[in-house]
Amino acid sequence: MKRLLAVLSLTLFTALPSPALLAAEAAPILIRFSHVVGEDTPKGRGALLFRKLVDQRLAGKVHVEIYPDSKLFGDADEMAALQNNQAQLLAPSLAKFSQYNPQLQVFDLPFLFDDMAALERFQRRPVGRELLQSMKAHNIVGLGYWHNGMKQMSASKPLRLPADAAGLTFRIQASPVAEAQFAAVRASAVAMPFAEVRNALSSGRVQAAENPWTNLYSKHLDELQPVITETSHGALDYMVVANSRFWYGMPHDIRSELEAILDEVSYAVNTDAEQQNAQARAAILAAGRSQIVTLTADEREAWRQAMRPVWLRFEGQISRKLIEAAERSNHAR
Ligand code: LMR
C-alpha cells in the first residue's frame, strides 16, 4: 500500500508542470486601448508610443492592442466598455466625465484657462492630481492627463463677435457646459460622438463646430467649414483612464512598469501637442480651403464676457474653490 501511494504521488508530481513552466506559459496580460481619433493626432501618437514601449519593456508579459477612430468603441459606449473590462485603457476628453464627477466640468468652462501652460500647471498641482483619483467608485482610475490643444470655432462665416454665432447649430461633445456656453450666445448645440461630426457637417445637420487644429485637420473638417475663427475659448484635453479593478489587480511589478511607461508617454504627448497643433494649423492655411480669422483683443473680450456667466451656473456642481484654483493657474506662481 505504501509503495502504491509512493508511485501514485510520483506520477502525480511528475505530471504537473513546474511553477516556472506555468509562469513562462502564462498568456500575456491584454490591454485594449480604444480611442476615437486618428493615429496622427496627439492622442493617436501617444497610444502608439505606449504600445511601442510596452513591447520593448514588457514583451511576453503585456500585450497592447490599439483601436483608433472609434473602430472598437465610440464616445457613446467606450466608458461602459471600460467599466466592464471590454476595454482596459481609454483617453476620453475631459468633457466626457461629467456624469462620474461633475467637478471635472471645471476643464470645460469657457475662457477659464488662458492657455495650455495654465492648464498644465493646474493639472500638476495637488488639486489636479486629486481629480485623477476621483472616479474610483465608478471603477475608473485616472493615470495622467494628455493634451490636445485649444478649441477653435468653425462655421461658414467669421465669428468675430458672439452675435455672429446666434442662430447657428454647433456640434458639441456630450457636455452640459458646452451646451450652456453656446446657449449664452443664442446658438443651438447638438451633442454627438466625434465619429459623426464630419457627416453632420456635410449633411447640414449642424453648421458649426469647436475643435482643436489637429482634430480639424485629421478629419479634413476644413473641407466643410469655410471659416475657422481662432477663438481659443477652451482646451480639449484628455484623461488616460483604466478600469481600476483591472489596473490594481495586475502584479505590482508589471503595474509599476506600466505606470512608468505612461508617465514617459504623457511627457512626450504633452511636449509635442502644441507643435502638432501648430503644424495642423499651418497645413490648413496652406491647403487654402478654410480662411483663418484671428480675433482682436476687444473681440475676444466680447466672447469672454458673453460666455463668462456660464461659470456661475456651474459653480454649485464644480465648487468655487476649484474654479479659483484653476484661475490661479493662469499665473506661473
Ligand atoms: C470630441 O468628441 O470632439 C473629442 O473629444 C474627440 C477627441 O477625443 O479628441
**Atom of ligand 1 lying closest to residue 193 CA:** 2
Residues 105, 101: Cα–Cα separation, whole Å: 8
Indicate whether 20 pLDDT > 90: no
> Cβ(170) to ligand 1 under 6 A?
no
Report the mean per-residue pLDDT for the chain.
94
Question: How many percent of the chain have pLDDT more than 90?
Answer: 92
**Atom of ligand 1 lying closest to residue 210 CA:** 3
Enter the pTM of the model: 0.92
**Atom of ligand 1 lying closest to residue 35 CA:** 8
Give the pLDDT confidence score for residue 98 in this predicted structure. Answer: 96
Give the pLDDT confidence score for residue 332 in this predicted structure. Answer: 82
Indicate whether 8 pLDDT > 50: no
Give the pLDDT confidence score for residue 26 in this predicted structure. Answer: 83
Residue 33, Cβ density class (10 Å: 0-12 exposed, 13-18 middle, ≥19 buried): buried
Give the pLDDT confidence score for residue 18 in this predicted structure. Answer: 54
Residues 308, 312: Cα–Cα separation, whole Å: 8
Residues 52, 55: Cα–Cα separation, whole Å: 5
Give the pLDDT confidence score for residue 50 in this predicted structure. Answer: 98
Q: What's the pLDDT tens digit per position in 76-120?
A: 999 999 999 999 999 999 999 999 999 999 999 999 999 999 999
* The three three-digit cell numbers of residue 173, written as one number: 461633445
Indicate whether 229 pLDDT > 50: yes
Give the pLDDT confidence score for residue 11 in this predicted structure. Answer: 46
> Cβ(173) to ligand 1 under 6 A?
yes
Q: What's the pLDDT tens digit per position in 164-177?
A: 999 999 999 999 99
* The three three-digit cell numbers of residue 30, written as one number: 491584454
Of the pLDDT bands very low, low, confident and very high (cuts 50, 70, 90), residue 12 is: very low
* Residue in the structure block whose three cell numbers are 468655487: 320
Give the pLDDT confidence score for residue 230 in this predicted structure. Answer: 98
Q: What's the pLDDT tens digit per position in 142-165?
A: 999 999 999 999 999 999 999 999
Residues 25, 287: Cα–Cα separation, whole Å: 53
Span from the CA of 178 to the centroid of ligand 1 (angstroms)? 13
Q: What's the pLDDT tens digit per position in 268-315?
A: 999 999 999 999 999 999 999 999 999 999 999 999 999 999 999 999
Stretch (H or E) spanning 78? helix 78-83
Q: What's the pLDDT tens digit per position in 259-277?
A: 999 999 999 999 999 999 9
Q: Best mutation site among 35, 67, 75 for ligand 1, i.e. most ligand atoms within 8 A of its Cβ?
A: 75
Give the pLDDT confidence score for residue 22 in this predicted structure. Answer: 53
Give the pLDDT confidence score for residue 207 in this predicted structure. Answer: 97
Residues 333, 330: Cα–Cα separation, whole Å: 9
Q: Give the dihedral of Cα atoms 195, 165, 105, 240; nearest 10 deg.
A: 30
